[in-house]
Amino acid sequence: MTALEHFEQLLEFETDCWDVHEDLKSGMPDYVILDVRSPEAYAAGHVPGAINLPHGRIVERNLAAFPAGVAFVVYCTGPHCNGADRAAVRLARLNRKVKKMLGGIAGWKWDGFEFKKSEVRKLATWRAARLQFGLEPGYVQVPV
């Protein structure tokens, strides 16, 4: 493998806080942001627009609300945490598109980006997910 192939491959499966922030600023990103930490950590502060789904709960049943082609960006606490890697493995095993956000919430904070504090946000129904992605009339943009 050449250096070029190596780094191109990394970019296929990784993104960073800056790129996610820019996608959020530009409007609706073309992926779902999953905060894979605990519900308590999520409520204390998370990336705006992120949905909480702890990595241990990533199973097909909990992803049923999302169309098969939807991509996910996952993050956890930071570079010292492998929760995002565990989440990415689970999503990949379920044949879902996935990227890891390098730096996690620590990187988000380091870059000076705004946190959102709230109740745990879940998409409970297929219809809610379809509305989020504009796949049904009555499109609802997720606030970011």
Catalytic residues: 76
Report the alpha-carbon angle 57-116-28, nearest 5: 80
Helix residue ranges per DSSP H, 26-97: 39-44, 60-63, 83-93
Q: CA–CA distance from 62 to each of 28, 42, 91, 103 (Å)?
A: 22, 17, 11, 25
Residues 6+ apart with CB under 8 A from 62: 53
d(CA 134, CA 53): 22
Helix or strand (DSSP H, E) at 1 = none
